[in-house]
Amino acid sequence: MDPAPPLASENTKTLLERAFSDAVDQVDDSDETTARVLDGAYEQFCRTGIRRSTMDDVAKRAGVSRITVYRRFANKDTLVEHVVRREFRRYFDRFLRDIRQARTLAERLELGFAGSLRAIRENPLIGGLMEVEPDVVVPSMISDGGRTMATVSRFLAERLRIEQRTGHVAAEVDVDLVAEMMVRVSTSFLLTPSELIDLDDEQQVRDIARRFLLPMLEPPA
């Protein structure tokens, strides 16, 4: 059985850092066969988990030969990295779509916060792994020297800078610090569910964003 793959290392970018780059640059270099293998791997990992899945399992699920899988992905670690990376890229893309429909800063913040939590929790792969194989995903989120949270913070900070340039956020607001605080709040909800706040209650989650996150964007006293 293939060993469980590490999702981050000290000398390489984390999955989230690479997904962030792909989302911003709109990179998509997958050919049809590669996409087929990634789709098969995604389905296999969702059904069986990463630890129990082999490259042979992925090949069967994708309807291709084992050699075809290895021609595109040298080993299971690399395949897992690409699958998870693609899911995070979809998360970033969904975040941008969610806030596009909002008309005000408050609405964008509410939709972004609620949508982000929902997207991660409902994702069959990422959310599912956080439930059944947390030792595969969680270390990449909290045990990488803070790089994962820093990546998401930079993504959010860029969105807040756009709000700042258009006059929706005061120039005095430190958007980098605010973004990190917001990401840390979101991460805590994902890793440690609350007994007071029902994350399945969309309106309650949006209320939390409006009451506690929106004031962070007000000018300092």
CA–CA separation, 45 vs 213, rounded Å?
35
Q: What's the confidence (pLDDT) of residue 193?
A: 77
Print pLDDT tens along the chain (221 aa): 444 443 333 334 555 556 556 555 554 556 889 999 999 999 998 888 888 899 999 999 999 999 999 999 999 888 887 887 787 777 777 777 878 888 899 999 999 999 888 888 887 777 666 665 655 555 545 444 566 677 788 888 988 999 999 999 999 999 999 999 999 998 888 878 789 999 999 999 999 999 999 999 998 77
Which residue has 């006293």 as its token pair?
Answer: 221
Under 8 Å between Cβ of 197 and 205: yes
| Token output for 105 | 């800063």
Q: State residue 221's pLDDT score.
A: 72
d(CA 195, CA 149): 24
Tokens standing for 127? 């959310």
3-state secondary structure 53-88: CCHHHHHHHHCCCHHHHHHHCCCHHHHHHHHHHHHH
Class of domain 102-220: mainly alpha
* Cβ neighbours of residue 170 closer than 8 Å, sequence gap 6 or more: 164, 217, 218, 219
Q: Return the domain boundaries, the chain.
A: 15-86, 102-220
Q: Name the fold adopted by 15-86.
A: Arc Repressor Mutant, subunit A (1.10.10)
> Burial of 25 by CB count in 10 Å (0-12 exposed, 13-18 middle, 19+ buried)?
exposed
pTM: 0.67
From 4, 42, 2, 1, select the one nearest 134 (Cα to Cα).
Answer: 4
Where do we find the tokens 């949508």? 115
